[in-house]
Structure 1
């Protein structure tokens, strides 16, 4: 999309919103696709869409059956949800429930787009924890999608689980539904896009009771170490965060040490990315503390 001036962009978005009315579906596919592109790239466009009344008709399109239109609409609604005031409109229009219902779609692309759209909705909802719990069977449904054969669907579901797991009560529920073994089964993937969001989800899930121990018992720790050899900085960051959480269990520290994690993490301690730097240092520190404790015990 060519760069437009602020005025041109506003006028274009207003014109596109005006076309959300009684139009053939083949026209709506392109109109909604363009709105989604504008909303995802420009914060000003999200504001314009909301101010000219475009959020509600977009949400209403989530009730359709046209697959390309649903894909573009979920993308557009998800982009609008990045704006907190637009999120309030989405919530009022029951948009999150509609997105959640699309997770049942037989189309992998619709499932994936719906899960991606749910992420900013959870992030910006007024009471995200309660909102998510209000969908009967919703948490069980999203955990079940970790069995999907589609990598994009899996990445989007992992991203959504990472958001859901920020709420302690919801984390407890998805743990009861078996999120840990299902995430653990995915750790052998070589897809960096999936690796990034999988590691994020694992890091979040580690904070509930003995989940970090359960990940170790499911042999999910050693495969994570190989992620640090990826050229992708985002994968490094999320993986280091997951390893830091997992390293709070002594048995996991032993597994990491045997997988030569320290050699991989040491250069990352000097990273300009503060989150990566801190997580790498924290993981190494936990491994070192365990080693020192063992050394001390030998001489007692």
Structure 2
């Protein structure tokens, strides 16, 4: 007997297969068959779109051939679960393109997706939440989800165990939390505590996704400092995740620490938990995403006690200077701000100077990015002030 694979268990689709489907002008035919009467054929066509719509060109072709409306219409057929899984999967992947999300909003697909957040098999839920997570990237849709009562069932799904579902639901809840009105509901439902507890999940993908979701929650909470302190052991837990081997976990945790450290009391607590040496240990990295968020975390953590001096003693300064050679301008901005904070300590100025920071920063003083410009100029000014003071002490 042949075993049936669920959609989530299917193997990744090789690029050659996706290419074959496109070159044979099959997207057009797949779309045509979505509007037919044969449910099995509709399911196979939606499933093929689900597999191929990871590819941007395919997503555009589906829209171009008018495939988004029939997909939205098929959402109302919630009895046939196999068809529903394929259709929701196709909508999820098509929604990666913003133009498609606009169309789905026109076709009222978001409201129907919210209805499907309860009493569905996991395979369908993974896709529904994935689709809502993509749609949530647009502010108007975050309000639609709230008005349709979608936030409570989303928060409810944070208690699940399915890895794929948890990755998708954390992304959706995090996107919803960027709206203060949504954040009030998430907080009231204890959603932030649930996100925080997912940091203990054994899967790095879930840990990272939860940490990214925690960032907008802290940014948009009424009293974020107090909220974070209310999680017993929460700050120690997040600091310990800096020992992870996974780059995405590290970048997301650095981003969360940047937000946590805006509150002075919490910054003092994470300092006691050893955040400075752990951040310094990560400094020798070539990963630009991690570099950016690490530099932001270092910059923010400099605001407490003798942390500036401690970063110098734990050898974070010289590797940071090298970040200025990155090709990523967001890395330059974050690094210049961190170096500016660190340059308030004379020993750090010496280390920076020895590592050729002035030449690198001089080029950035003329940047069109004002934040970068000011941080670069401020750092050079601090180094210059120290050099003048040293000369004066030497020669009187």
Please report the TM-score for the alignment, with normalisation by the length of structure 1: 0.98
Q: Within 2, Cα distance between the matches of 1:111 and 1:163?
A: 17
Gaps of 5+ in 1: none
Post-superposition CA distance 1:39-93 (Å, at most 9, x none)? 02x0001010111110111000000001100000000000000011000000000
1:13 and 2:74 matched: no
Q: Which residue of 2 aligns with 1:56?
A: 152
Q: Within 1, Cα distance between the matches of 2:195 and 2:125?
A: 18
Q: Which residue of 1 aligns with 2:197?
A: 101
Q: Which residue of 1 aligns with 2:120?
A: 23
SS, match of residue 230 in structure 1:
coil
1:140 and 2:233 matched: no
| Shift in alpha-carbon separation, 1:223–1:6, aligned structure 2, 3 A | closer
1:121 pairs, out of 206, 214, 217, with 217
Q: Which residue of 2 aligns with 1:168?
A: 264
Q: Which residue of 2 aligns with 1:45?
A: 141
1:200 and 2:283 matched: no
Q: Within 2, Cα distance between the matches of 1:5 and 1:55?
A: 19
1:215 and 2:311 matched: yes
Q: For structure 1, which segment, 147-156 or 2-11, has the greater mean C-alpha deviation from structure 2 after superposition?
A: 2-11
Q: Which residue of 2 aligns with 1:66?
A: 162
C-alpha displacement at 1:296, in angstroms? 1.3
1:34 and 2:152 matched: no
| Shift in alpha-carbon separation, 1:5–1:210, aligned structure 2, 3 A | closer
C-alpha displacement at 1:299, in angstroms? 2.1
Post-superposition CA distance 1:100-134 (Å, at most 9, x none)? 00000000000000000000000000000000000
Q: Which residue of 1 aligns with 2:360?
A: 264
1:241 and 2:325 matched: no
1:152 pairs, out of 240, 248, 257, with 248
Post-superposition CA distance 1:249-291 (Å, at most 9, x none)? 0000000000000000001011111111110000000000000
Residue pair 2:101, 2:135 contacting (<8 A) in 1 also = no
Where do 4+ consecutive residues of structure 1 move more than 3 Å?
4-8
Paired residues, what number?
299
Q: Within 2, Cα distance between the matches of 1:282 and 1:174?
A: 27
| Greater relative contact order structure (CA < 8 Å, 6+ sep) | 1
Q: Within 2, Cα distance between the matches of 1:6 and 1:280?
A: 40
Q: Within 2, Cα distance between the matches of 1:224 and 1:160?
A: 20
Q: Which residue of 1 aligns with 2:180?
A: 84
Post-superposition CA distance 1:154-212 (Å, at most 9, x none)? 00000000000000000000000000000000000111110000000000000001000
Which structure: larger Rg? 2
Q: Within 2, Cα distance between the matches of 1:277 and 1:13?
A: 42
